[in-house]
């Protein structure tokens, strides 16, 4: 028998920042008081600061999908022509949401593991000048691929369409110049790089998006962006807020501000780079080799090995929870997260565990191969 600490190593929920977790204990607080308004105002201001935008930023008591839903129901009209980029399970979610609200979608689909090329978005925009919106994932968490949202944003900015970016795992893992690149709507979620539990969604909204929303005719009630903006300006949420999570967010944002958003992003990028090098040295294939992002690295299980075995053994041998593939990728890939409160020690341990699991399941690798690769990346980065 060995002690097995539970380690949450998934791309949402992610490891919690301890002071944020402790802050949740002060949630015996009423939300219509000055004490709470102070916290709420600080959260909205700090979110705006770490997102690096002059656009309005709103917060919702919902998982990330709630804000995705709200962006469609508040800004668009029935029958609007839109373009949806689908590179994985979360792109499919955009496709399903716009379909549910009766939008007229041109769906640009690429095989799992790839990213939608910018040229394809440009061609679709040129083919339909009446396009009202373009939907994409900055980081497609199900495959580990990242989209070139900079080039896409600059292309969409030349048209009347708004660019709606699910950056739920993009925020804090890749540079996103919201205002400079024309990212009209940017959506985030608390359980990703924000280091707190699930239950809060964030959204930034540009003047161009607000303008489109003025003519929107889709039904909505709970998620009302205009109402939420008005409430937010008064330091409150429209409905009863997720008080405990907001207290946690306040602490987490203080931490992110203290290290700097750019450093948080670089941390994820370094861990991702180290993971890719480790995979290569272990003879493992990256699932999104052509456009790997830094929020999560998806690795294809060795031929003849079910990735569910790897996921199960992480849990049974080491108490660690890692992500399997979703949908038809289940059993084929496993995913290693880098977003938020992850450090090199987490990665060293996870790679050491992986090597043991591979050896125990008919894929012999010299012990220490992947760990050494990650150590090299650390040593190089630490020199600078």
Ligand X SMILES: *Cc1c(COP(=O)(O)O)cnc(C)c1O
What is the binding site for ligand X (CB under 6 A)?
12, 63-65, 90, 137, 141, 166, 168-169, 189, 198
Helices 261-281 and 243-259, packing angle to 10 deg: 80
- Residue 144 or 370: the one with the smaller Cβ distance to ligand X is 144
CB of 201 to ligand X, least distance (A): 7
In this structure, what is the dihedral angle of CA atoms 232, 237, 242, 245, given to the nearest 10 degrees? Answer: 10
Task: Give the three-class secondary structure for 305.
Answer: coil
- Residue 141 or 288: the one with the smaller Cβ distance to ligand X is 141
- Residue 141 or 275: the one with the smaller Cβ distance to ligand X is 141
If we measure between CA atoms, which residue out of 257, 268, 258, 342 comes closest to residue 16?
A: 342
If we measure between CA atoms, which residue out of 243, 229, 288, 223 comes closest to residue 65?
A: 223
CB of 12 to ligand X, least distance (A): 4
CB of 72 to ligand X, least distance (A): 14
CB of 198 to ligand X, least distance (A): 6
Are the C-beta atoms of residues 75 and 133 closer than 8 Å to each other?
Answer: yes
Are the C-beta atoms of residues 239 and 339 closer than 8 Å to each other?
Answer: no
- Residue 137 or 294: the one with the smaller Cβ distance to ligand X is 137
- Residue 188 or 370: the one with the smaller Cβ distance to ligand X is 188
Are the C-beta atoms of residues 364 and 355 closer than 8 Å to each other?
Answer: no
CB of 191 to ligand X, least distance (A): 6
Report how far residue 196's alpha carbon sits from residue 203's, in angstroms, rounded to the nearest whole number. Answer: 17
In angstroms, what CA-CA distances link 110 with 165, 330, 333? 17, 18, 18
Strand-strand pairing, 200-205 and 56-61? antiparallel
CB of 224 to ligand X, least distance (A): 19
- Residue 173 or 353: the one with the smaller Cβ distance to ligand X is 173
- Residue 182 or 189: the one with the smaller Cβ distance to ligand X is 189
CB of 100 to ligand X, least distance (A): 15
């Amino acid at each position: 028998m060995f002690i097995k600490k539970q380690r949450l190593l998934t791309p949402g929920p992610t490891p919690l920042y301890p002071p944020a977790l402790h802050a949740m204990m002060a949630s015996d607080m009423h939300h219509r008081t000055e004490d709470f308004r102070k916290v709420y105002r600080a959260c909205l201001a700090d979110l705006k600061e770490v997102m690096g935008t002059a656009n309005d930023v709103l917060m919702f008591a919902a998982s990330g999908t709630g804000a995705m839903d709200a962006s469609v129901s508040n800004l668009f009209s029935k029958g609007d022509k839109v373009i949806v980029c689908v590179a994985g399970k979360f792109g499919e979610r955009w496709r399903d949401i716009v379909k549910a609200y009766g939008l007229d979608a041109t769906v640009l689909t690429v095989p799992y593991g790839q990213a939608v090329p910018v040229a394809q978005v440009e061609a679709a925009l040129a083919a339909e000048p009446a396009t009202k919106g373009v939907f994409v994932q900055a980081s497609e968490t199900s495959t580990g691929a990242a989209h070139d949202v900079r080039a896409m944003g600059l292309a969409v900015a030349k048209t009347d369409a708004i660019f709606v970016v699910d950056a739920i795992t993009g925020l804090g893992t890749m540079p996103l110049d919201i205002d400079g690149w024309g990212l009209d709507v940017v959506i985030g979620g608390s359980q990703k790089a924000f280091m707190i539990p699930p239950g809060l969604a964030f959204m930034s909204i540009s003047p161009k998006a607000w303008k489109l929303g003025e003519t929107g005719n889709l039904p909505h009630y709970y998620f009302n962006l205009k109402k939420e903006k008005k409430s937010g300006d008064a330091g409150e949420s429209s409905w009863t807020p997720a008080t405990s999570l907001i207290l946690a967010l306040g602490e987490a944002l203080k931490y992110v501000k203290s290290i700097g958003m750019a450093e948080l992003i670089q941390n994820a990028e370094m861990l991702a780079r180290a993971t890719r090098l480790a995979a290569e040295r272990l003879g493992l294939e990256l699932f999104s080799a052509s456009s790997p992002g830094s929020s999560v690295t998806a690795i294809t299980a060795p031929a003849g090995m079910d990735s569910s075995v790897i996921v199960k053994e992480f849990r049974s041998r080491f108490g660690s929870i890692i992500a399997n593939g979703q949908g038809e990728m289940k059993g084929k890939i496993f995913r290693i997260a880098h977003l938020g409160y992850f450090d090199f020690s987490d990665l060293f341990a996870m790679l050491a565990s992986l090597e043991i699991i591979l050896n125990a399941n008919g894929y012999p690798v010299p012990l220490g191969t992947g760990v050494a690769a990650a150590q090299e990346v650390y040593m190089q980065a630490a020199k600078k």
